[in-house]
């Protein structure tokens, strides 16, 4: 996938994620079933996950190399990265540390959606400043997946929004059937 294709995927997946949340009322936004994250926690988690990626893409290449190193293998494809993530989840992988969401109040919903829009926009702007080669050359740490190339981190970030959109939809469906 090229940089422009990745940027489109990032925008599209996050837009679809946010569209699902815009119309939620307070009950739907804050309620959960079966000890699953509610919509506010899903949104909080995605923001927490995108923020450090934006920060990493702010760093110049020499800093990326200094702090995190260089790749010793080619980047995985999008389907390969998604499969690796799904396998980690099946093996019991879960969010940890600063990525565990506290949740948001209903009053924070719209400002949080705006914040996520701004983060994704900022990430896409920063992506334009990296070369295709840099995306495959430098790595970042991922708490569940280990060392990922910049390209793989972007793939993850795009898929992550889709994954949590699906999780939130399942929660809402179960909630409304209860």
Chain CA centroid to CA 88, Å: 16
Left if phi > 0, otherwise alpha if psi is -120 to 50, otherwise beta: which for 120?
A: alpha
Rounded to 5 degrees, what are φ and ψ at 92? Answer: 105, 5
**Domain ranges within the chain, ordered by starting residue:** 3-177
List pLDDT tens digits, range 124-175.
999 999 999 999 999 999 999 999 999 999 999 999 999 999 999 999 888 8
Q: What is the pLDDT along the chain (178 residues), one digit of tens a residue?
A: 999 999 999 999 999 999 999 999 999 999 988 888 999 999 999 999 999 999 999 999 999 999 999 999 999 999 999 999 999 999 999 999 999 999 899 999 999 999 999 999 999 999 999 999 999 999 999 999 999 999 999 999 999 999 999 999 999 888 888 6
Rounded Cα–Cα distance for residues 110 and 108 (Å): 6
Q: What is the CATH number of domain 3-177?
A: 1.20.120.450
Q: What is the pTM of this model?
A: 0.95
What would the 3-class secondary structure string for the chain be? Answer: CCHHHHHHHHHHHHHHHHHHHHCCCHHHHHCCCCCCCCHHHHHHHHHHHHHHHHHHHHCCHHHHHHHHCECCCCCCCHHHHHHHHHHHHHCCCCCCHHHCCCCCCHHHHHHHHHHHHHHHHHHHHHHHCCCHHHHHHEEEEECCCEEEEHHHHHHHHHHHHHHHHHHHHHHHHHHHHC
């Amino acid at each position: 996938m090229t940089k422009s294709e990745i940027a489109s995927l990032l925008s599209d997946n996050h837009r679809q994620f946010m569209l699902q949340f815009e119309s939620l009322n307070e009950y739907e936004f804050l309620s959960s079933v079966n000890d699953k994250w509610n919509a506010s926690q899903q949104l909080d988690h995605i923001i927490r996950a995108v923020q450090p990626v934006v920060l990493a893409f702010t760093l110049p290449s020499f800093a990326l190399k200094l702090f995190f190193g260089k790749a010793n293998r080619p980047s995985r494809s999008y389907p390969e990265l998604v499969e690796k993530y799904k396998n980690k989840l099946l093996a019991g992988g879960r969010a940890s540390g600063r990525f565990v969401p506290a949740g948001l109040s209903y009053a924070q919903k719209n400002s949080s959606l705006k914040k996520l829009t701004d983060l994704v926009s900022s990430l896409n702007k920063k992506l334009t400043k990296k070369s295709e080669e840099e995306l495959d050359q430098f790595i970042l740490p991922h708490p569940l997946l280990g060392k990922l190339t910049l390209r793989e981190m972007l793939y993850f970030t795009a898929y992550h929004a889709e994954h949590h959109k699906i999780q939130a939809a399942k929660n809402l469906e179960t909630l409304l059937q209860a």
